[in-house]
Amino acid sequence: MPHESPNPRIAIVGASSLRGSELKQFIEDENVPFGEISLIDTSLPAGTLAEAAGEPTFLKPMDRESFEGVRFVFFCGSTQEAKSNWKLAADAGATIIDLTGALEDVGAAPWIPGLDTLLAPPEATAERPHHAGMYSSPVAPVMIACRLAAALSKFSPSRMVILFFPPASEREQLGVDELEKQTADLLLLRPIAQTVFDAQVAFNLLSSYGEGSKPALSETRTEICKRVAAYLSGRTPAPAMQLIQAPVFYGYGFSVYVDLGGSVDVAAIDAALFAAGMHVTQKGDLAPTNVSVAGEAKIHVAHAERDPDVDSGVWLWGVADNLRLAAVNAVEIAKELLAPKI
């Protein structure tokens, strides 16, 4: 009789997406104690040859049978794929962990386990009840904003503003491909493709996309603000946020201004950020960059700097690997659910 692994079986839906590929890679790199990994992707035919945990496998079809006996289903592909198929996983008895952001509106409970010591997970409300067995791993800017707000709440700041610089990979592989092609075409003085962003992203900064790009950057910002406010509700004020599209492929950069309303102890701020699970560079070290954080699990923040003209003001600069951050948080949710309850 074959030996059956005691480790929980999982399924990754949207396995060929950037999020799905990163999640699978993280599980393999860190030897996360999961059992069989089933790969599912509606953008590719079932039966397509793939690889999981160093072994050849085949993409499974999107049906209830593929979810039978699976402990966790990670939705990593498109929002439409998640919305259309989560019930198949739920009906099979699997616990759902959504990385697309699409399932919070149907009851997935957002959760950032690394903040549990600072903030309890948000409670269900009459407007948005939580569906048992469904969890949402928030998108990178939501996790960054919530962790910053939680870390600095002890200082009772009078104002916090975050300027985010999203990478092209937030629009999945199509966004990465378009930025790459635009860069090459501009260098060769050729007309550029604008299918995804409907605007020139390469060598440029954008406060909005072209009219043909959906969702609009303003819509993405509104959604992020809503998710952050919901997660922090009743515990600490949400920061003001703005998005500027940057001509980078990977890595979510952010600049933060905090007004503490009084004297500033930058060493205490650094200590608070470190205690909240961030990597803080030492004074004199190079600040984090999109390149330096590639493959890193934590949010990296430069040493806090006083504003030269506002006595109570502090500036922070940070970057996070948006894909790795999402994968790590999703796995942490699964680990917390598997941990014995005392």
For residue range 169-218, what is the model confidence (pLDDT) as tens digits?
A: 999 999 999 999 999 999 999 999 999 999 999 999 999 999 999 999 99
The predicted structure's pLDDT at residue 98:
97
Are the C-beta atoms of 213 and 220 separated by less than 8 Å? Answer: no
* Per-residue confidence band for 3, with pLDDT thresholds at 50, 70 and 90: very low
The predicted structure's pLDDT at residue 239:
97
Over range 118-139, report the average pLDDT: 76
Mean pLDDT (the chain) is 91
Residues of the chain with CATH 3.40.50.720: 10-139+327-338
* Lowest-confidence pick of 24-28, 100-104, 129-133: 129-133
40 vs 57: which has the higher pLDDT = 40
* Per-residue confidence band for 342, with pLDDT thresholds at 50, 70 and 90: low
Look at residue 54 and tell me whether its pLDDT is greater than 80.
Answer: no
Task: Tokens for 15, please give them.
Answer: 């396995």
Q: For strands 279-280 and 300-301, give the pairing.
A: parallel
Annotation: CATH topology of 10-139+327-338 = Rossmann fold (3.40.50)
The rounded Cα 192 to chain-centroid distance in angstroms is 29
* Lowest-confidence pick of 22-36, 40-54, 147-161, 297-311: 40-54
The reply to whether the predicted model has a pTM over 0.95 is no
Alpha helices (H) in 212-307, listed in sequence order: 217-232, 266-275
Q: Taking the CB of residue 340, how many other CB atoms lie within 10 A of it? A: 4
Look at residue 320 and tell me whether its pLDDT is greater than 70.
Answer: yes
Q: Taking the CB of residue 286, how many other CB atoms lie within 10 A of it? A: 8
Q: For strands 37-40 and 10-13, give the pairing.
A: parallel
- Beta-bridged to residue 319, according to DSSP, are 253, 300
* Lowest-confidence pick of 13-17, 146-150, 261-265: 261-265
Q: What DSSP state is assigned to residue 206?
A: B
Across 59-63, 96-100, 106-110, which has the greatest mean pLDDT? Answer: 96-100
Task: Tokens for 145, please give them.
Answer: 């904003």
Residues of the chain with pLDDT > 70, as a percent, come to: 93
Look at residue 127 and tell me whether its pLDDT is greater than 70.
Answer: no
For residue 225, report the phi and psi dihedrals to the nearest 5 degrees: -60, -40
Class of 143-322 in CATH: alpha beta
Residues of the chain with CATH 3.30.360.10: 143-322
